[in-house]
């Protein structure tokens, strides 16, 4: 049997992403084993994401490259903040770091494919939508932990959440080819709703993950509802489907909080 030779063209074409994977893993190791220099490692992480985004974008600083850099920063920096405030063991931290790097690699992979072809595959739109929701959840939880740990004003939490949801909505518009003519109107409404939700739930004696998941439900329903409306396929059937989804998610959330959340309120 004749063995097929390795396809080195694939490795060469994705050399930037593979190198990014190695560098990110190295920086996470430095953060864990040399925490005294944490601020420097965070700065190095930020610079690395910006430079690799520019390189993946074929050394051009156009709109696609800027959005790639912003999305990677959102995912990686938000996830890193979550790890810093989580009391995890070494094995758990290593697994989380591998997961963060893997997600970053997939985001970079689909962005590079978009840069090469000028199109977003349906699979990329679907999976990057899930990544967007995950990034919103983790980064929002990180912000809540930071505000609590440093005794900051809730204003900073509301500001961070508002910026996040607007950026997430813009990514949705951009990838699905929705006109951004009235984007700021829908984005500002979403930001105001999210900030009011943060302000109201700030007084609740509930777990941070409960509040973050509630925010995620509101973002998901609003963004998808607006996307269907602007694409002209918002029918009565779709509306009732989203009402059903909202009911199931909220019921699951409250049941989980009542029956299974045994950690102290934070």
Q: Is residue 111 over pLDDT 50?
A: yes
Q: Is residue 100 over pLDDT 90?
A: yes
pLDDT computed for residue 266 by the predictor: 44
Burial of 117 (0-12, 13-18, 19+ CB in 10 A): exposed
pLDDT computed for residue 28 by the predictor: 92
Nearest Cα neighbor of 22 from 135, 108, 145, 143 is 108
Nearest Cα neighbor of 137 from 50, 241, 220 is 220
Pairwise CA distance, residues 221 & 246, whole Å: 7
208-239 residue pLDDT tens: 888 998 999 999 999 988 998 888 887 888 88
pLDDT computed for residue 76 by the predictor: 95
Q: Is residue 264 over pLDDT 60?
A: no
pLDDT computed for residue 262 by the predictor: 46
| Average pLDDT value for residue range 31-53 | 93
Pairwise CA distance, residues 161 & 137, whole Å: 10
Pairwise CA distance, residues 177 & 184, whole Å: 16
Give the Å distances, CA to CA, from 12 to 7, 9, 50, 109, 207.
9, 5, 21, 13, 46
pLDDT computed for residue 6 by the predictor: 58
Token look-up 């939490």 returns 157
Q: First and final CA of the chain: distance in angstroms? A: 62
pLDDT computed for residue 79 by the predictor: 93
Show Cβ contacts of residue 118 under 8 Å, excluding neighbours closer than 6 positions.
none
| Average pLDDT value for residue range 155-170 | 95
Judge contact between 159 and 144, C-beta under 8 A. Answer: no
Pairwise CA distance, residues 96 & 82, whole Å: 10
60-65 own/partner pairs: CB under 8 Å, 24+ apart: 64/111, 64/114, 64/115, 65/115
Per-residue pLDDT band for 114 (boundaries 50, 70, 90) equals very high
pLDDT computed for residue 101 by the predictor: 93
| Average pLDDT value for residue range 159-176 | 95
């Amino acid at each position: 049997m004749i063995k097929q030779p390795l396809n080195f063209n694939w490795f060469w074409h994705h050399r930037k992403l593979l190198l990014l994977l190695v560098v990110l893993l190295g920086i996470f190791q430095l953060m864990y084993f040399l925490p005294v220099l944490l601020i420097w490692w965070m700065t190095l992480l930020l610079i690395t994401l910006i430079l690799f985004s520019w390189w993946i974008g074929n050394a051009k600083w156009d709109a696609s490259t800027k959005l790639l850099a912003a999305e990677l920063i959102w995912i990686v920096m938000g996830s890193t903040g979550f790890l810093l405030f989580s009391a995890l063991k070494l094995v758990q931290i290593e697994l989380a770091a591998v997961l963060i790097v893997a997600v970053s690699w997939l985001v970079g992979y689909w962005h590079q494919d978009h840069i090469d072809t000028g199109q977003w595959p349906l699979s990329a739109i679907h999976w990057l939508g899930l990544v967007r929701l995950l990034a919103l959840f983790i980064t929002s939880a990180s912000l809540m932990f930071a505000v609590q740990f440093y005794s900051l004003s809730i204003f900073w939490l509301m500001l961070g959440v508002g910026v996040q949801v607007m950026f997430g909505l813009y990514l949705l518009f951009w990838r699905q080819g929705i006109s951004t003519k009235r984007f700021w109107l829908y984005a500002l409404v979403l930001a105001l709703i999210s900030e009011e939700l943060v302000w109201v739930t700030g007084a609740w004696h509930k777990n941070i993950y409960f509040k973050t998941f509630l925010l995620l439900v509101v973002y998901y329903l609003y963004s998808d509802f607006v996307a269907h409306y602007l694409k002209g396929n918002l029918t009565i059937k779709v509306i009732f489907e989203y009402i059903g989804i909202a009911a199931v998610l909220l019921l699951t959330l409250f049941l989980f909080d009542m029956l299974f959340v045994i950690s102290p309120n934070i």
